[in-house]
Structure 1
Amino acid sequence: MALIALATPLRAAGDAAELAQAAASELAAAHDRLERAEGASDRVAALTATIAAYEKGLAAMRESLRAAALREARIRAEFEAQRDEIAALLGTLQTLSREPAPVLMLHPDGPIGTARSGMLMAEATPALNARVVELRERLMEARQMRAVQEAAADQLAQALSGVQQARTALSQAVAERTDLPRRFTADPIKTQILMATAETLRAFAEGLPEITDGPEDPAPQDIPALKGELALPVQGTLLRRAGETDAAGITRPGIVLATRPRALVTTPLPATIRYLGPLLDYGNVIVLEPASGLLFVLAGLDIVYGEMGEVLPQGAPIGLMGGEDPEPGAILTQAQRGSGQDRSETLYMEVREGGTPQDPETWFAVTKDTQ
């Protein structure tokens, strides 16, 4: 009876397997989209959507692998914690299987004791059988979780190859693009002087109107109506809010997003490229102007796309984060450890309106677990 009392409810199996299956479907769809993108008339837009689909599918696959690894570890921990109980159950079942049923019913107290033991056996046997079924299902679930992780290796290898191919094709398509409108042409000498003399990001931003060569078309005057609801320019998680001090004791007015290596960065709104390239200690920077007096400053990219003065549509690619894609084995290892520390790159983002820094969280839909 103590053995029966220790029995725990069986959790629904298959959630992680269903997540993995859904992720595999997303990756397959991304592969099909890549093949169609090669012949698309607007290859930049098609390849951008393809990379976004791959990133979404890979994120879902990582999550499903993490769920499978955690579930397998939980089942194994439960078995370890109930080792004595399971050993007692196996011993009882072995005894029942060796002795004939009539012998088991006999009791030294005579017919009354025998009757009582028979009733107890009649009540206990279904519970024992239920416990056996439960343990068998848990073992099968543990095997299923292991199978999910083993099957994912090939899927991850194909997906990583596909997204790398799409990034290469995107870089080429951006270089060949000639149909974007221009608001201005940047003077390279004025640009170099501004880069050499500006000691802060604020000073640089204030000097950007001075680097144009010739007349400049006016920027849109209307502030976007989607303020507060804009999608982030990259898939990532919020690492540091505006005004928070970092480990080096530096406080900045922008936010820091943790991203995965080689993550694609896109325009949150239609915008003009006011500047792109290395700046101060920020690494590669791109400054976007969605409206007159409004600047989005994105810093920390490895590769930047476009030219100063070009007007980009919403969702256009503007660069890639740094780092290297992990090997499938490394992704599986991270998942088996239950680790979410796979976002090794950081993107810094400021919003400036009328020359004054604004909290980006008043513009963008940002949460701590933003994906």
Structure 2
Amino acid sequence: MRWLAALAWVFVAGGALAQTDPADAARAAAQRLAEASEMLEAADGARNRVKALTETIQAYQDGLQAMREGLRRAAIREETLSRDLQSREDEVAQLLGVLMAMGDTPAPVLLLHPSGPVGTARSGMIVAEVTPALNARAADLRQTLEEVTILRALQQSAVNTLRDGLEGVQEARTALSKAIADRTDLPRRFTEDPLKTALLIASTETLEGFASGLNEIAQDEVPGSLPGIEDRKGQLNLPVDGRILRRAGEADAAGITRPGIVMVTRPQALVTAPTAATVRYRGPLLDYGNVIILEPQAGILLVLAGLDVVYGEAGQVLPGGSPVGLMGGATDMDDVILTGTGQETGARQTETLYIEVRENNTPVNPLEWFRTDKDD
């Protein structure tokens, strides 16, 4: 919890730069982690433990992202103040010279004037007018120097706490993988036939062809379907925290277009099921990399492609919000160091997740199903 305290400190210091109150965001992130930790301690069965660990990882991810943003703001503010001081070097030197001269000279001597009492009176009036302005400039300079000192100390402390946070989230990811492997209480709708799956993969060249043969790999499938989700159309949460990089039909750098969307996210980001669904397939597929295909209801397939690690087994029914995989990317602790310009050198959104929705094996625009108010 020590790193969360520093998180709050970062946001309080950078609050003047934000349009919204960053301290509230810091407190919210800390509260999420505290609640997740309580869930973890109270978890009895493997399924509860998976849910608690999922919440913990998501809280860590939110907190780390918020802290990076606060650290970035602090670095930019510190650079701005330093440049301002550099641009005012001559003025600052003159001000310090005047203040030092005034400090070393006895007050009666300052008020004496060679022209006599009238000159002395005039000089006293001038000094009385100038002194408040000099004091104000000195106070402004002192405040700027103090802020620069605080920001520099804050940045160093925040980098250390970011490292601690990265270690904590990595421990939670490891624990999640083990908890999922130990989980035995999920219902199953069918058992996968490995031989038929291999034959299907070898005989198809398109996602459409593979999807059309998914029913062939299922053995002893329980009839029926999960409850419909039509009433939630447009309200499903996106499976990963990130932003939309390419929309349906938009060409990539190679000129290739796909009917799904591409989201960009951070390395090792957790991917979750937007709704309760049956796992129809998981594993490598064509040129999509690691894929998991979910069936929230009969006739609707949700394809998530580009994961590094995939959780679950074909035939399992996953609750909504269940972890289905992790994105790839390096987890080097050095990815949180900032450059002198206040820009992140690592931990950026570099991983891409492809999302496709198929209705009766025909692709539809995924944005019709997901709530994207954060990404538009």
Tell me which interval the TM-score lies in, with the shorter structure as reference length. 0.7 to 0.9
Q: Summarize the Cα distance change of 1:31–1:326 in structure 2 as closer, same or farther, 3 Å threshold.
A: farther
Q: Name 1:37's counterpart in structure 2.
A: 40
Residue in structure 1 matching 2:214, options 193, 208, 211 = 208
Show CA shifts across 1:202-256 (max 9, x none).
Answer: 2222222232223442223623433223222112222222222111221122222
- Aligned partner of 2:262 in structure 1 is 256
Task: Give RMSD over aligned pairs.
Answer: 2.9
Report deviation, 1:265. 0.8
The answer to whether 1:139 aligns with 2:138 is: no
Contact 2:335 2:345 in 1 (8 A): no
SS of 2:324's partner is: strand
**What SS does the aligned partner of 1:225 have?**
helix
Comparing 220-229 with 88-97, which one deviates more in the overlay?
A: 220-229
Give 3-state SS (helix, strand or coil) of 2:313's partner.
coil
Matches within 5 A, 1:233-272: 233-272=239-278
Q: Report which stretch shifted further, 209-218 or 196-205.
A: 209-218
Whether the aligned pair in 1 keeps the contact of 2:260 and 2:355 (CA below 8 Å) is yes
Q: 1:367 to 1:239 in 2, by over 3 A?
A: farther
Which aligned pairs between 1:1-371 and structure 2 lie closer than 5 A? Answer: 14-15=13-14, 23=26, 26=29, 30=33, 33-34=36-37, 37=40, 40-41=43-44, 42-107=48-113, 111-220=117-226, 222-327=228-333, 329-333=334-338, 337-339=342-344, 342-366=348-372
Q: Residues 53 and 98 of structure 1: is their aligned pair in 2 closer, same or farther, counting only changes over 3 Å?
A: same
Identity of aligned residues (%): 54
Q: d(CA) in 1 for partners of 2:111 and 2:182?
A: 87
Quote the Cα distance in structure 1 between the aligned partners of 2:301 and 2:176: 25
Deviations 1:327-368 (A, max 9, x none): 1x4302258632376122111111222322222222222257
* C-alpha separation in 2, matches of 1:359 and 1:29: 32
Q: Which amino acid aligns with 1:85?
A: E
Contact 1:184/1:217 (<8 A) preserved:
no
Cα gap change, 1:116 to 1:33, in 2 (>3 Å):
same
Secondary structure at the aligned position of 1:179 is classed as: coil
TM-score, structure 2 as length reference:
0.85
Q: Structure 2: how far apart are the matches of 1:112 and 1:355? A: 99
Q: Quickly say closer, same or farther: Cα 1:129–1:224, change in 2 above 3 A.
A: farther
Greater CA drift, 90-99 or 138-147: 90-99
* Aligned partner of residue 202 in structure 2, secondary structure: helix
Query: Contact conserved, 1:27 with 1:58, CA < 8 A, in 2?
Result: no
Once the two structures are superposed, residues 35-65 of structure 1 have per-residue CA deviations (whole angstroms, 9 ceiling, x without a partner) of 8626612211111111111111211221121
The verdict on how the C-alpha distance between 1:81 and 1:244 changes in structure 2, with shifts beyond 3 A counting, is farther
**Secondary structure in 1 aligned to 2:279?**
strand
Shifted more, 214-223 versus 18-27: the winner is: 18-27
Per-residue deviation, 1:262: 1.3
| Offset at residue 132 of structure 1 (A) | 1.1
Tell me: CA distance 1:369–1:114, structure 2 relative to 1, closer, same or farther (3 Å): farther
What's the TM-score, normalizing by structure 1? 0.86
The number of residue pairs the alignment matches comes to 358
- Contact 2:226–2:277, Cα closer than 8 Å, also in 1: no
Gapped runs of 5+ residues in structure 1? 1-11
Distance 1:13 1:189 in 2: 58
User: Is the deviation greater in 46-55 or in 215-224?
Assistant: 215-224
1:282: Cα distance to partner? Answer: 1.0
Letter in structure 1 aligned against 2:263: L
Distance 1:218 1:334 in 2: 56
Equivalent residue number for residue 9 of structure 1: none
2-structure distance, mates of 1:229, 1:148: 40
Q: Say which SS state the counterpart of residue 192 (structure 2) adopts.
A: coil
Deviations, residues 70-119 of structure 1 (Å, cap 9, x unaligned): 11111111111222221221122122223333333345665444433322
Note the residue ranges of structure 2 that are not aligned, 5 or more in a row. Answer: 1-10
Q: Is 2:357–2:364's contact at 8 Å kept on the other side of the alignment? A: yes
User: For residue 3 of structure 2, what is the aligned residue in structure 1?
Assistant: none
Give distance in 2, aligned partners of 1:332 and 1:21. Answer: 25
What's the CA shift string for 1:174-202, capped at 9, x where partnerless?
11111111222222222112211221222
Residues 282-317 of structure 1 show CA distances to partners (whole Å, capped at 9, x for unaligned) of: 110011111222221111101111111111101101
